[in-house]
Structure 1
Amino acid sequence: IDAIMLNTQLKNAQLSGNYDIALTALPEFLPAEANNIKAHGDFTLTQLVDSKPVGKVSTTFSFDKAVAYGTTINTYTGKLVASMSEKLDASVVLKSEFKGAQYEEYKLTGINNTLSARANLGVGELFAHLNANTQINTLTSPNVDLNTINVTSTGLQSRALEASHHVFVNGVELVANHHVSKVAHPFEVIIPQQSVLSLNSLVSQFEPLAQLTQGEFNGRISGDVNLQKANFNLTIDDTSALYNDYLANQFRAQLSGQYDSGQLNVEPTTFNLNELRAGAVVNNINGKIKVVNNSAQAFDISGNVFDGVFELDKYTLLKSQQTANVTFKDIDASKLITLDDKSGITLTGRLKGWLPLHFSDSGVEVTNGNLLNQGEGKLIISNNTAFDSVMQQQQELQPVLSLLKNLDIQKLNSTVALKSDGWLNLGVNLQGFNEPQQQQVNFNYNHEENVFTLLRALRLSDEITQKVEQQYSQKGN
C-alpha cells in the first residue's frame, strides 16, 4: 500500500467524505494480479440509523496492467457511480476504458464500455434491469481481424439472466438473444436482411482478389451454449462477385444445418448461379451443396456452355487430392472455335465428351479425356496464317492439306490431356469428305495450346466484366 487517505464528516445523520487509495499491487489472496492501482472518490449517505441508507457513491480507479483468468488488461480507467433513493431504488453505472486486452491469441484494442444496472431492493424477488454499450476498435485473431465493433445490450437479471444484444461488426448487423440459468444457456442469433457488400472487409482477409458486388443475405441461429449445439439457416439471394477477372452473377441458395460438438452438417440443398464468366461463358448453373462433419461438397452440378450442356458429378471443397468427372453434350462447335476469333477457321456441328479433372497440390490436370462429334459437321479453313505458312513451306503437303479447307465431317475423335500449367494437348482423328474434290479424308494431328493464357486473354477483353469493375470502382466499394 502506497497511501490511504480518508476524509469524512458526520452531520445531522448525513455521512459524507472523500478518499484516495494507491496500491503497488493487489493482495496475494485475490484471484488476479495488478500493479500501480489508484482509486479516489466521494460519498454522501443519509438515514444510516434505520438501515435504509440513501445516498450516492462515486469512484474513479485505474491500473497499468492486470492479469486474471488468463486475460491480460492494459491501461484501464473506470468510473463507478452508485446511488440509492428513499424508495430503495438502486442504480449503478460503470464506465470503463481499456487500452487493450488479450486472451491467448485474441487481442482487443480501444475498448470503451458503459454498464448500468437498476433495481429495487425492497421486499420481494430482486429484478435488476441491465443496459450496456460497448465499442471496440479492433479484434485480431489467428483466423480473422475485425474492426469497429459496436454492441448495445439490454437485460433482466432475476433467478436467471435474459439479455439481448444489437451488434455491428465491420458493418454487419446481428441481433443476439440468450437466457443464462444454472441448467441451460439457450441463445438465438438473428441476421437481418442486409447487403452482402458489408462482408467485403471480411472476404478480403481470406481472398484478397475477391469482391462481392451485389446481393443480400439473412439468417438465424439457435441453440444452447452449454450443450455446444445449434441449428441454423442462411439465405443468400441475387449475389454477384468478382474474383480477379472472373465474374459470377446472381448466386442463390438457402442453407439449413446443425452444429454439434465441433461438427458442422448442412442438409443437401440446391443452389443456382445465373452466369459465370471465366473466358468461356457458363449459364444456368444448378447444383447441390452439403456439409458432412465439416466436409463441404458440391454435387450434381449442371449448366449450359457453348450452347450445350455440361454435368459435374462432385467436388469436395478444400480437399487437395480428388477427381471430378465432367461430361458434356450438344456443344456448338462453331462457338468453341470462336474462342480464337482470329483463327480463320469455321467449324459447325455438335460435340460431346468427358473430362476427368484430377485435383492435386500442383493444380488441375486432365488425363484420358475425350471429345467426339454428334452427327455430321463442316470444317472451313480460310486466311489462317499458320495453316497457309505450312502449305507454303511444305509443298508436298499441299494436296493433303487443301482437302481440309472444305470438309464435310463424318467422324471426329480427339483425346484430351491438360497439364497443371495450362498446356492442352489434343490428339485429333478427323474423318470426312471433300465435296469439291470428291475425296475421302482420314486426318490425324496433335494440337497444343496454353488454354489458361487463352482464357485469361478472353476474360481481360470481357466487356461485361470491365463494366462491372468500372461501376464498382467508381462507387468506391
Structure 2
Amino acid sequence: DSLPAFLDFQADGALVEGIGAKGELDIDELFTSPTAKLNTNISVKNALISGAQIADFSSAINAEYNAQQHLVVKANSKVKSLTYDDINAAKISNELTLSTDLSVGELFADIDAKTTAAKLSTAELTLNKLSVVSKALQSRALQATHHVFADGFEALVSHHMSEVAHPFELVIPEQAVSKLNPIIAQFEPLATVTDGVVSGIIKGDVNLQQAQGRVQISKFSALYNDYLANDFAVNLNGTFNSGQLNIAATKFTLNELRAGAVVKNIQGQLQVTANQPCAANLTGQVMGGAFVVNKYCPLSDNQTATVKFENIDASKLVTLDAESGISLSGRLAGTLPVVISKQGIEVKQGQLVNQGDGKLLITNNAGFDAVKAQQQELSTTLSLLENLDIKKLRSSVNLKPDGWLHLGVNLEGYNEAQQQAVNFNYNHEENVFTLLRALRLSDEITQKVEKEYAKKGSNDG
C-alpha cells in the first residue's frame, strides 16, 4: 500500500521532461491462479526530483509473477549524469534483481544489485571506476551488504537500516596501500605511496554518528617531494563520537627516513585527541648518534618541540666536501628548542657541546691558505687550528624561518706541534634549507646508484 515510512520518499515538485515508455503485459488465469509478465523500457531525458538532477535515464524492466505468488523483478538502468547538492556522478549503470513471495503474511524481499559509476565527485574528493555489489533483505528493516571498489581499493560494508537505528560494519581486507594513491594525490599531490599493506574493521551507527574500530598498517613506504620514509608500522584503535576522532596512544616504528640526513630506527607513541594527532617520545638514530623529541603535533600552528641529541658524530654533522682538506672528529650532544608557528620553523637558543675530546685538521685548503697569506698578522694564530686537539666545544644555535642558521662557536684546545693552547671564537652563517636540498639531491643520486647496482647484482646472480 505504501513505501516503508523510514524511506521518506517525496516527489512533490518533481519536474520530468522527455518521458518515453513502451512495453507489453501478459496476464493469464486472471480469476484463478493468475500469472503475469511485464516487459517495458522507460527513458527520461531530464528530471529534477527532490533536488536531484538526472540526465538521460533509461531502464529496461522485466517482471514475472507466477501461480505460487512469487514475484521477480529485474531492471537494468543507466544514467548519463546525476547531481545532488555537491555530489556529481557520471556514467552510472545499475543491475537490480528483486524477488519476493506474496503468499506469506509478512513481506520479505531479496535484493541483488550491481552499481558502477565512471566517476563520483564531491567538493573534497573524486573517485573513479566505482563499483558496488550489493545483497539485501527487506522486511521490517533493510539488511544489506555492499562490496565496494573505488580506484581499485576494496572495502566491505554491512548495515541494518530501520526507523530507530542504523548500525554498520566496515571491513577493509588486507591490501596494498598504494591503491590509495589516486585518492592521496587529491590531498597531497607531492605524496606517493610505494609499498605497504593496510587492513581494518570499523563498527558504529550512522544515526548516532558513532564508531569504533582498528586499522593496521605495516611495511608502509612513501615519498613526499624528495623525502623518503621506509617501513612504517602501526596498529590504531580509535573511536568517533560527536564529530571527534580519538585514537589511544599506540607505538609506531619507522625503519628509515631520508631527508638530507638519514634517520634510522625511529619509534614513538602516536595519539589522536579530539581530531588533534600528536607523536610523543620520538627516538631514533642519526649521524652516528641518538636523538629524542618530547612531542610534535603536525596540525598545531604554535608549538615548541624539544629535540635532544647525544653521541653525534661531528664529522657527519659538519658537512664538508671530502676534498676540502678540513676534517672534524669527535662526539657532540645538544638541545634544540624547535619553535613551529605560522611563520615557519625556528630554533631559539639551541646548544651543542662536545662529549670527550675531538680533533680539527686543516690541510691544503685553498681558502684557508689564502686568508693566512692576505692577513699575515693572523697567520700564526690561524696555523694553530691546522692540527688542533679539541678539549671543549660550545656552540649556540639559532635558526630563522627563512632557513638562515647562525652558529656562535667557541673552541678550546691544544696544538701539540706548537705546544700552544688555543681559545677560538667563530661565528658562522649559512642557509640550511639550501644545504638540505643539496643533501637530498645527493641522497637521491646515492639511492639510484644503489638501486642500479642491486639490479646488476641480481641479474648477474
TM-score range, shorter chain: over 0.9
Q: Does the alignment pair 1:234 with 2:215?
A: yes
Q: Distance in 1 between matches of 2:77 and 2:364?
A: 78
Q: Does the alignment pair 1:46 with 2:28?
A: yes
Match of 1:464 among 441, 444, 447: 447
Match of 2:344 among 363, 380, 383: 363
The residue type equivalent to 1:365 in the other structure is E
What's the secondary structure of 2:367's corresponding residue? helix
Match of 2:16 among 34, 39, 57: 34
Q: Does the alignment pair 1:108 with 2:89?
A: yes
What's the secondary structure of 2:164's corresponding residue? coil
CA distance 1:468–1:257, change in 2 (3 Å): farther
Contact 1:337 1:345 in 2 (8 A): no
Q: Distance in 1 between matches of 2:348 and 2:293?
A: 16
Q: Tell me which residue corresponds to 1:216.
A: 197
Q: Distance in 2 between matches of 1:269 and 1:470?
A: 38
CA distance 1:325–1:80, change in 2 (3 Å): same
CA distance 1:132–1:359, change in 2 (3 Å): same
TM (norm. structure 2) is: 0.92
Once the two structures are TM-superposed, the CA of residue 166 in structure 1 deviates from its matched residue by: 0.7
Q: Distance in 1 between matches of 2:91 and 2:449?
A: 40
CA distance 1:460–1:117, change in 2 (3 Å): same
Deviates more, 1:335-344 or 1:350-359: 335-344
Contact 1:186 1:225 in 2 (8 A): yes
Once the two structures are TM-superposed, the CA of residue 435 in structure 1 deviates from its matched residue by: 0.8
What's the secondary structure of 1:457's corresponding residue? helix
CA distance 1:442–1:29, change in 2 (3 Å): closer
Cα deviations across residues 380-418 of structure 1 (Å, max 9, x unaligned)?
112333322211221211111110111111111111111
The residue type equivalent to 2:247 in the other structure is V
Q: Does the alignment pair 1:172 with 2:142?
A: no
Contact 2:27 2:34 in 1 (8 A): yes
User: What is the CA RMSD across the aligned residues, in angstroms?
Assistant: 2.0
The residue type equivalent to 1:464 in the other structure is Q
The residue type equivalent to 1:275 in the other structure is E
Q: Count the aligned residue pairs.
A: 444
Contact 1:247 1:465 in 2 (8 A): no
CA distance 1:105–1:342, change in 2 (3 Å): farther
Q: Distance in 1 between matches of 2:51 and 2:303?
A: 42
CA distance 1:204–1:122, change in 2 (3 Å): same
The residue type equivalent to 1:318 in the other structure is L
Q: Distance in 2 between matches of 1:456 and 1:178?
A: 50
Match of 1:423 among 390, 395, 404: 404
Match of 2:298 among 317, 324, 333: 317
Match of 1:382 among 360, 363, 366: 363
Q: Distance in 1 between matches of 2:378 and 2:142?
A: 89
Q: Distance in 2 between matches of 1:427 and 1:313?
A: 25
Contact 1:111 1:137 in 2 (8 A): yes
Q: Tell me which residue corresponds to 2:43.
A: 62
Q: Does the alignment pair 1:449 with 2:430?
A: yes
Cα deviations across residues 82-138 of structure 1 (Å, max 9, x unaligned)?
111111111011221111111211111111111110111113433211100010111
Contact 1:459 1:465 in 2 (8 A): no
Q: Tell me which residue corresponds to 1:413.
A: 394
Q: Distance in 1 between matches of 2:65 and 2:41?
A: 19
Contact 2:213 2:239 in 1 (8 A): yes
Q: Distance in 2 between matches of 1:236 and 1:349?
A: 39
Q: Distance in 2 between matches of 1:230 and 1:276?
A: 33
Match of 1:125 among 102, 106, 126: 106
Please show how residues 69-468 of structure 1 align to structure 2 within 5 Å.
Answer: 69-338=50-319, 340-462=321-443, 463-464=446-447
Deviates more, 1:433-442 or 1:53-62: 53-62
The residue type equivalent to 2:56 in the other structure is T
Cα deviations across residues 61-97 of structure 1 (Å, max 9, x unaligned)?
1222222232221221112211111111110112211
Once the two structures are TM-superposed, the CA of residue 202 in structure 1 deviates from its matched residue by: 1.2
CA distance 1:433–1:320, change in 2 (3 Å): same
CA distance 1:360–1:102, change in 2 (3 Å): same
Where in structure 1 are there 5+ consecutive unaligned residues? 1-27, 473-477
What's the secondary structure of 2:72's corresponding residue? strand
Where in structure 2 are there 5+ consecutive unaligned residues? 1-9, 456-461
What's the secondary structure of 2:179's corresponding residue? helix
The residue type equivalent to 1:41 in the other structure is G
Once the two structures are TM-superposed, the CA of residue 165 in structure 1 deviates from its matched residue by: 0.8
Contact 2:211 2:239 in 1 (8 A): yes
The residue type equivalent to 1:289 in the other structure is L
Once the two structures are TM-superposed, the CA of residue 31 in structure 1 deviates from its matched residue by: 4.9
Once the two structures are TM-superposed, the CA of residue 344 in structure 1 deviates from its matched residue by: 2.3
TM (norm. structure 1) is: 0.89
Once the two structures are TM-superposed, the CA of residue 276 in structure 1 deviates from its matched residue by: 0.5
Q: Percent identity?
A: 50
What's the secondary structure of 1:453's corresponding residue? helix
What's the secondary structure of 2:189's corresponding residue? coil
